[in-house]
Each structure stands twice: as C-alpha cells, then as structure tokens.
Amino acid sequence: MRDGFVKVAAITPKIRVADPEYNRQIICERMDEAFGQGAVVLVFPELCVTGYSCGDLFFQELLLRKAKEQLLAIAAHTEGKNGIVFIGLPLMWEGKLYNTAAALSGGRVLGLVPKTYIPMYNEFYEGRYFTAGMEEPVEVELGVDDTCKAWMGTHLLFTCRALPELKIAAEICEDLWSPKPPSIEHALAGASLIVNLSASDETTGKDLYREELVKGQSARLFAGYVYASAGDGESTQDVVYSGHNLIAESGAVLSSSRRFTNETIYGEIDVLRLYGERRRMSTYFFQKEGYRSVPFALELVETALTRPVLPLPFVPKDFRQREKRCEEILSIQSMGLKKRLEHTGCQCAVVGISGGLDSTLALLVTVRAFDLLKLPRGGIFAVTMPGFGTTDRTYENAVKMIRCVGATFAEVDIRQAVQVHFRDIGQKEELHDVTYENSQARERTQILMDLANQKNGMVIGTGDLSELALGWATYNGDHMSMYGVNASVPKTLVRHLVHYYADACGETDLKDVLYDVLDTPVSPELLPPTDGKISQKTEDIVGPYELHDFFLYYVLRFGFAPAKIYRLALLAFDGIYHKETILKWMKTFYRRFFSQQFKRSCLPDGPKVGSVAVSPRGDLRMPSDASAAIWLKELEELEEQTV
C-alpha cells in the first residue's frame, strides 16, 4: 500500500447451490489464497454464500438462517488477516429479504450494502424474492450480542485508517447496468474504489458490453473498479455463468479473467493517482450527505507491483494505436497553425531548419497547414542558418528536406554576424561558454523574425515540450516564435511523429532524408564539430530524454512525489538504466524544471495535443520563484538509501 498502491482480488469460487456450509469452506480457502498473494481487498460474487440461482429456495427459513450463521463464521475467519473482504448473501430484516454485499474485516461484519436495482425481467425474477435497499443506513442485528450488530444501507463508505484515500463502496450486479448506477453517488461521496458483487449470466457478446461498462464507469468516476461474477457452480437450469471478473482503473482494464474458468484475478489500484485526477477536475464536486463512514484497519505493507509501467508514457505501445495517435497529433498541430494563418491573413511562414528532429516536425506541420489552406508551398520560407557547430550531415539533410517538400529555400550564414557581435560585446571567440552558444541562437531568431517582417509572414516555433520542461532553450532565442507548433509534443513523441510521416508520405526521397534525420544525434550544434561530426550531444549534457519525459509525465499528469516516480522508473527502465543513473537525472530534472519556469511563463501560443502541457495560460500556473527544496530533499534521502 506504500505510494497508494492497493492490491485487490476478484474471486469466483466453485460453490454449491443452497449449501452455505460448504460455500463457507470454499470462500475461506479462496480468501486465504488471496491473502497469501498479498491482496488486501477481496471481492466475491453476488449471493455466493447461498448461490445466486437458488430460486424459490430463498423463501426457505433454514437457508436464510444458515446463510447468516456462515456470514458470521466467514467474518470470524478474517480475524488477524490484513484485508477487507466483500461477500454476497441474502439477509432478512424486518420481514423483507435483501440481496446484500457484506464487508468483513478484523473478525467482524463492518456493514452490509443492499442491492439498489432489483431486476424484474431475468430468469430468476429477483423481484419475486428481494426488496430494493434503503439509502440511509440502519443498524441490524446479526447475532445475540452487541458485537454482532452492523450498519446496512446503500450509503456506506468503508474507509481505511492507514490510507484515508482508500474509501470503498459497493454496488451489486444490476446496479451497474442501470441508467443511474449507485456508484456515481458513491464516488461523489469520496469512494475511490467501487466493488461490484455480480452474478451476470453469459450470452453471446455480453462480455464485451460488460467490459465496456466497467471501463467506462471507472473512467467517468476516476475510480478503481473490481467486478467479481458468479461462475461454474451455479445452476445451469436456464442460463450459464462464466465467472467474468474484471479490475479496472480510470478507464483502463488492469486485469480480466478467462471466462468459464472460475479464476482469481489480481491488480494494484493506485488510489493516490485517482485522487490526483479528481483534484484537477473542477466539475468533480463531493456530496457526502447521508453517507456513513465505517472505518477499518489495514497494515501498511509493501505492494509488489505487477501492473505494467511503460517507459514511454507519451507513446502508445500498440502499433496501430501509435499510428492513430500520430495522425491525430499532426492534425491538431496543422489545424492550429491553419487557424492562426487564416486569422492573421498570413500567406507566408518562416521556419528555421537545422536538420534536426524538432525543426523537421515543424516544417512537416507547416506543409500540412498550407495544404489545408490550399496555399502554395512556396510560401513557406525554410531557412538554414549554418553556424560554428553545423555539420555537413545536418546541413545537407536540411537542404534536401526543404527541396523535397517544395518550400522556398533560403540560407543565411550566421558566423560573420556573430563574430561582429562578439567583438561588440568583448566576447572571446575561443571561449565556448553559454554566451558563445546563446549568441548564435539569438542571432538565428533575429534573422527569422526580420525575414517574417520583410515577407509579411509568421515565424513558426520548433521547440518541443521536453526542452521547455528542462528550460533547454535560449531565452529570446529559439525560446521565441509567433506560433509554437511543437510546444506540447515531448521529444520521445516527436521521433515517432517524424517516423510516421516518413512511412506515410509515399515519397522515396523525402522518406530517405527523414530516416537520416531520425538517425542523427540530438544536438543544438552550437559548438564546433569534432572531425566533422557533432560534438555537442544534448542527452550527454542534460540526460536521456526518455527519462525526462517519464519524469515529466508523472510530475505534471498526476503530481506524484519523487519517491513514487523513482519507484515506477525502476520498474519501467529495469535493465536499461542503473538506479544511480535514474536518480542522477531525476535531480537534474527537478532542478531545471523549477529554475527554468521563467521561460515557460512567457511562451508563445501553440496547440495543446495531449493531457500534459506547460502553457502559462491554461496548463501550468507555476510561479517562477518556487523553491525545489522539498523535492530535492526527498531525492537526497532516496540517494542515501541506495548507498
């Protein structure tokens, strides 16, 4: 449970219909297995103590009495166990029968949640036996003394003392399929985890719809969702139950069972992530009226993570999804630029082309925007500006690319102008310091801006999200433009966008040059080359972009603390980077992220393409003078632990 990860289990035992004593034994056995696997939230199917398919046997007093007795026996079995268990049983109260989900922990019954929506159409006609549950909790007696009392009602929240963000609420089968599932109110009351005890019969294609329901509800509510369904063991008199179990979190299925196998499935729900999502959503307002909180105790233990942690969170793992994502992003970028060109009346765009990835993507986006506007591509002024660090490879790729797309080629050698500037400010040319580098970047920006004025055009920015996060941009140099098309595209995604464009363009010459750009090391080329090759490699200086993009995603998307991000990074980059390397570049990331905010506070406009962006107008309202002390301190503590 450290870092908010809670291991859950959805369990389908093979029961006997109308045999509560036997079912209690099986439930306890499966419970022990799940506890042994480290699960702390266990969910069993609807009416599993008796079986869902008892039919008119639910009218039998003996069955109901035995079910209550076995409930107390199963509750006693949880004594000394580190977890909370949900089981289903029929319960009589004040002359009415309720289909309930009982929450058990610490040797007792914590509470009972009755089913809200009783189906009147299914094969077993639940309305023949059961009454819809009450919202306001009432106290019910389950035994002969006060220790056997529990609250019953739909408005119960089971709250973990050790991890207060873990608030669990229950709904039962049909409740989810209704137009207004109770889980909506549960989540608005604070529930971060919804458990569903179900007995959903199987028909052709129903599993797909069931999965979409669970995924959709977890996404809509920013919640974890554990769905445990009845399986083999129920009566097959008219229907078959497949034991289709599902565990989902915020729209993603973490685990699903094979149908017709009575499996136990496991997953780790990140409740801190869910609360982080809710904090960001202004329309997520909490309404706790009428809910009773029932506390339970859990020991904070280390949860071994089995959920996948992708090293490239901005890039879809599936090839088809990746292609779709690339096309969508290119469309957003080009449509944003199209609108800006239309609005300003510009028929000219000025783009500085270095032969690197970022300027390549900016040029390709500009070409798309011009095509959408049916403007001649010759209106794109693609400018190469060779300087002290320019290599033949990048220069030749820039020239070839400009020719291939049909843009107007322009070349302005900046070396002489920069040398004059060095003389004016007293900078020694042999001193390769930050002034040496930034003077070149600012000279290039001045050229682009003046050309744009001259041609009544617009300077298209090339800098990407990763560079902005690290402040790897020259203030009032490449930091500035009139519209930054790459501003919310991280470096790891830029590469895939260019690769996708190369594969899709259908032009051999363009494809070849784009492939060579992809093979070129990332560099600002501001220092003289060594033996004609790039001497200044960005990732040698600031660190691997795949690490920085990973850090950026979890810092801005979920607001995770450094220790949690480090833990996830160890999993994602296992066998790729040593833990010392990850920590080293994490410190660089946090130091630069905080110190360089002043550059992000005055960014040009640019289209947002994903959930992580740094625009000061809507995405990152961060003070330029914020201290990184507490984040760096946590990293130092982690460093001490790894020694």
SS3 205: coil
Is 46 catalytic? The answer is yes
* Active-site entry in 48, 173, 326, 346: 173
Contact 634, 562 (CB under 8 A): yes
Query: What amino acid occupies position 200?
Result: S
Contact 41, 10 (CB under 8 A): no
Q: List the alpha helices (DSSP H) in 455-578.
A: 465-470, 491-504, 508-518, 538-542, 545-557, 562-572
In the block, residue with structure tokens 């070129």 = 520
Is 173 catalytic? The answer is yes
> Which are the contacts of 264, defined by CB distance < 8 A and separation ≥ 6?
9, 10, 11, 12, 30, 33, 34, 245
90's enclosing H/E stretch is strand 84-93
Token pair belonging to 384: 């190469």
* Active-site entry in 7, 28, 46, 215: 46
- Dihedral sign, CA of 122, 44, 167, 106? positive
By CB atoms closer than 10 A (0-12, 13-18, 19+), residue 136 is exposed
> Which are the contacts of 47, defined by CB distance < 8 A and separation ≥ 6?
54, 88, 89, 90, 99, 197, 199, 230
User: In terms of Cα–Cα distance, which of 101, 104, 103, 92 is closest to 46?
Assistant: 101
C-alpha–C-alpha distance, residues 639 and 537, integer Å: 27
Q: How many CB atoms lie within 10 A of CB 609?
A: 25
* Active-site entry in 115, 338, 564, 587: 115
* Residues noted as catalytic: 46, 115, 173
